[in-house]
């Protein structure tokens, strides 16, 4: 089979086209910030386009820095990680307090400094591990454009492209640099992610293409006119993707908490400093120690650390499952997902297909030869066309005169073919209902679709192909059906279990496909999706946003959905308060992937789909989704758990400082006591709980829920502690170590009770965790060396038992507060 050069990519062969390339100016495409005109370039010769740059020319451009060297979008540098974990406001506060203890001694009271050092090192190590995981996976998932170099076509990393490189473009390819078109064959570019313009732009020789856009149909060749930070998309989005929690409710909530704590610490801390200096004026070192003891626990030093560690370990765990997290907020989004929109092909079914049957409708037509010619003329076949290519080889002596590449909007492809006899005809291959208006063959197609088969119609078009492209709506009136091509789709064996998981977890599943609605419904029924029997043809969907939202809310399966409709359906679900995850692998999924709360693409999908997704399943395995969602829930749910512990400590520390100031007594603890209590009831347990499984879906109002527990819990802990301390002072007189010991026992028991509440629901290891922390504290109380080291000495039995009883009462009241809060939250759900 041969291909006419008049309509092929060799259109650049004439010198007039070469001159045109050099003369055309860029047309503005964005309303808000028009891209600047490309720099003047030397005329591009036909030989240059055919062969690309030579090795010497590439080396010259690399040496001059004309390389597409965009910064990594997935991770910070090692130095940025070290700086972010080391130079923090919390570390500065703790560092000053530690320096005071170093001066006044003893070193036991400076144990909190070692905790900060350990926390910082843990944070740095975990984030560096996450960075390495991300960077390694990003190399696998990166777009690899096809570039002509030295007469050969090679796949390169985006960062290896240099100025003036000759780049081939095909369906699904992401444009990675700004360029100028030098050859086209039905090339259509979607620039909506940059300009907001919904319709694909048909490109001609001499037109400009922008980085960040993607090919929806046809093929072409462009030369790179801007690379790296000079490219249009890079100027707009260089700061858009970082290894941070951008626009994150969790991060915003934690920042709000830290700001609140900072303002609370300042007056309480100043008052406590003055108070302890006055109360202990005869013993300044003791005053300094008591002052530091009051200030250190006010700072929730481990909250930020554990948040960072939880996210970093989440990235590592997902990386081990071949899931590339391109934007860290995606992990938080996963925890909140309650609807997953699935594309049928590549998710419920495997991406590959087989030709099961070809039903000829017109005797005497060489259907096999026509299909072979159409397949051979498609340089970038999709899954359907690839099945035809595998079945029917291209016939000799057939000539492709003109082509129309497959478009998700049209849902057909076509070509004008010249047969060996000299007869010229235009053939279209695509969705039967898009090529025919009314015809008995449509019923046959529906019957086959009900069996879960994909059906394509081969039709002869009676007018020139250019007219079909100019007005696709006129196609059905001028087509003659010639054959039905029946494709068999392989249902993924894990699809049923995956959908069952989502149902059990309260996550709704919506199948949104470009295929025939009847066929999609049959596949969905086969994998047990609820509502699959009532499949909706998207061509009949209402355009009114409210009516569309009603339909999408109440149905589960949609067929013949166009790219703009997918985007609208995602928006409709979001308008009803849903957090939506969208999966897809093709160019028709890009807009919906971008608009979804979490976009998830397959590693084998188009570069455009991978480029706009927050998560890429590099193993192309739909069954990875449950583990991805579970990881998001684990991270967010556990961060909320440990935040309750840290904020409870902050609340009771601030209240104790205020009460001590008003009462004008020595602060009831030394720094070593609160380091011990904090480590056993917050630090160690929080680290374990932050990494534990957690399947509960995250809910909004993170700060509100944390404060609803932390405030009453902190008030009860402070009240119990100061009551016990007051009783001990009246019982022991001036024996300050004995008074401090009783207060320490009371506070530890209340804090341990709070831990026991937060650790629910109980499992064997959670019970062991709580009991282990209690046993560790008892060990400190009974081992002489540890008694001396921590300066804990229980005198008699009356005061310690009263302190323990007070702690029990506070714990019971905390249970009541917890039950009331849970009941109110359940009522709002």
Q: Kindly report the backbone phi and psi dihedral angles of residue 320, in degrees, each rounded to the nearest multiple of 5, phi listed first.
A: -65, -20
As a whole number of angstroms, the distance between CA 187 and CA 221 comes to: 9
Are residues 735 and 795 in contact, defined by beta-carbon separation less than 8 angstroms? yes
As a whole number of angstroms, the distance between CA 825 and CA 467 comes to: 61
Write the DSSP symbol of residue 157: -
CA neighbor of 185 nearest in space, from 20, 5, 51:
5
As a whole number of angstroms, the distance between CA 411 and CA 391 comes to: 21
For the chain, the maximum distance between any two Cα atoms, rounded to a whole number of angstroms, is 116
Task: Give every CB contact of residue 694 below 8 A, 6+ residues apart in sequence.
Answer: 633, 634, 637, 638, 641
Are residues 553 and 483 in contact, defined by beta-carbon separation less than 8 angstroms? no
Cα-based distances in Å from 756 to 155, 507, 572, 643, 650 = 56, 30, 42, 14, 18
Instruction: Look up tokens 């004439």; give the residue.
Output: 14
As a whole number of angstroms, the distance between CA 604 and CA 591 comes to: 18
Instruction: Look up tokens 């925890």; give the residue.
Output: 335
Catalytic one of 165, 343, 515, 595: 343
Are residues 398 and 425 in contact, defined by beta-carbon separation less than 8 angstroms? no
**Both tokens assigned to 302:** 């481990």
Are residues 633 and 614 in contact, defined by beta-carbon separation less than 8 angstroms? no
- Decide if 343 is catalytic: yes
Cα-based distances in Å from 661 to 152, 299, 715, 740, 764 = 80, 19, 16, 17, 43
Kindly report the three-state secondary structure assignment for every residue of 26-78.
Answer: CCCCCCCCCCCCCCCCCCCCHHHHHHCECHHHHHHHHHCCCECCCCCCCCCCH
CA neighbor of 331 nearest in space, from 109, 8, 562, 600:
600
**Which are the catalytic amino acids?**
343
């Amino acid at each position: 089979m041969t291909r006419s050069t008049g309509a092929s990519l060799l259109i650049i062969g004439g010198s007039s086209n070469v001159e045109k390339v050099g003369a055309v100016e860029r047309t503005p495409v964005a309303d808000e910030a028009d891209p600047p005109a490309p720099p003047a370039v030397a005329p591009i010769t036909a030989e240059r386009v055919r062969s690309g740059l030579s090795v010497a020319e590439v080396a010259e451009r690399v040496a001059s820095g004309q390389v597409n060297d965009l910064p990594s979008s997935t991770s910070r540098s090692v130095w940025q990680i070290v700086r972010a974990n080391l130079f923090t406001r919390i570390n500065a506060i703790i560092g000053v307090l530690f320096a005071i203890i170093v001066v006044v001694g003893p070193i036991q009271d400076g144990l909190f400094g070692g905790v900060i050092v350990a926390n910082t090192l843990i944070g740095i190590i975990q984030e560096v591990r996450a960075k390495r995981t991300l960077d390694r996976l990003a190399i696998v998932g990166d777009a690899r454009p096809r570039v002509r170099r030295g007469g050969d076509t090679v796949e390169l990393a985006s960062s290896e492209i240099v100025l003036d490189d000759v780049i081939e473009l095909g369906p699904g390819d992401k444009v990675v640099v700004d360029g100028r078109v030098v050859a086209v064959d039905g090339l259509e570019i979607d620039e909506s992610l940059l300009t907001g313009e919904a319709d694909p732009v048909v490109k001609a020789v001499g037109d400009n293409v922008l980085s960040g856009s993607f090919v929806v149909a046809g093929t072409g060749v462009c030369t790179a006119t801007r690379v790296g930070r000079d490219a249009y998309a890079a100027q707009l989005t260089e700061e858009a993707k970082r290894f941070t929690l951008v626009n994150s409710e969790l991060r915003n909530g934690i920042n709000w908490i830290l700001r609140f704590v900072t303002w609370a610490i300042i007056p309480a801390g100043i008052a406590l400093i003055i108070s302890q200096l006055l109360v202990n004026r005869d013993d300044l070192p003791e005053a300094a120690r008591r002052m530091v003891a009051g200030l250190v626990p006010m700072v929730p030093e481990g909250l930020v650390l554990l948040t960072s560690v939880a996210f970093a370990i989440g990235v590592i765990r997902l990386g081990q499952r071949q899931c590339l997290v391109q934007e860290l907020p995606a992990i938080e989004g996963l925890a909140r997902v309650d609807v997953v929109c699935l594309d049928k092909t590549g998710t419920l079914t495997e991406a590959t297909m087989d030709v099961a049957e070809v039903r000829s409708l017109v005797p005497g037509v060489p259907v096999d030869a026509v299909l072979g010619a159409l397949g051979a003329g498609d340089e970038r076949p999709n899954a359907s066309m690839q099945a035809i290519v595998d079945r029917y080889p291209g016939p000799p002596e057939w000539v492709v005169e003109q082509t129309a590449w497959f478009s998700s909007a049209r849902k057909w492809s076509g070509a004008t073919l010249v047969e060996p006899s000299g007869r010229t005809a235009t053939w279209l291959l695509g969705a039967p209902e898009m090529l025919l208006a009314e015809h008995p063959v449509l019923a046959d197609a529906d019957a086959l679709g009900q069996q879960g088969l994909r059906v394509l119609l081969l039709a002869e078009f009676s007018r020139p192909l250019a007219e079909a492209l100019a007005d696709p709506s006129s196609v059905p009136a001028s087509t003659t059906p010639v054959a039905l091509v029946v494709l068999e789709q392989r249902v993924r064996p894990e699809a049923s279990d995956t959908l069952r998981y989502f149902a059990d977890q309260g996550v709704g599943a919506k199948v949104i496909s470009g295929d025939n609605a009847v066929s999609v419904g049959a596949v969905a029924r086969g994998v047990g999706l609820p509502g699959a029997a009532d499949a909706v043809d998207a061509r009949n969907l209402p355009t009114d946003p409210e009516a569309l939202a009603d339909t999408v809310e109440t149905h589960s399966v949609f067929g013949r959905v166009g790219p703009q409709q997918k985007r609208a359906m995602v928006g409709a679900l979001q308008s009803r308060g849903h957090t939506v995850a969208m999966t897809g692998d093709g160019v028709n999924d890009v807009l919906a992937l971008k608009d979804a709360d979490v976009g998830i693409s397959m590693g084998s999908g188009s570069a455009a789909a991978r480029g706009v997704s927050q998560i890429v399943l590099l193993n192309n395995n739909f069954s990875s989704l449950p583990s991805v969602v579970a990881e998001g829930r684990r991270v967010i749910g556990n961060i909320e758990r440990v935040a309750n512990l840290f904020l409870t400590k902050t609340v009771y520390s601030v209240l104790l400082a205020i009460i001590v100031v008003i009462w004008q007594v020595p602060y009831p603890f030394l720094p070593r006591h609160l380091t011990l209590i904090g480590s056993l009831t917050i630090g160690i347990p929080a680290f374990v709980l932050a990494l534990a499984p957690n399947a509960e879906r995250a809910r909004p109002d993170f700060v509100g829920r944390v404060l609803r527990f932390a405030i009453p819990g902190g008030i009860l802990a402070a009240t119990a502690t100061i009551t016990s301390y007051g009783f001990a002072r009246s019982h022991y007189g001036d024996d300050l170590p004995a008074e401090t010991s009783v207060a320490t026992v009371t506070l530890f028991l209340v804090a341990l009770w709070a831990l026991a509440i937060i650790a629910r629901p109980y499992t064997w290891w959670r019970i062991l965790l709580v009991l282990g922390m209690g046993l560790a504290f008892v060990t400190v109380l009974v081992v002489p060396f540890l008694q001396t080291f921590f300066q804990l000495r229980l005198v008699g039995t009356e005061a310690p038992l009263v302190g323990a009883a007070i702690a029990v009462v506070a714990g019971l009241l905390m249970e009541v507060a917890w039950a009331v809060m849970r009941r109110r939250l359940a009522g709002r759900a």
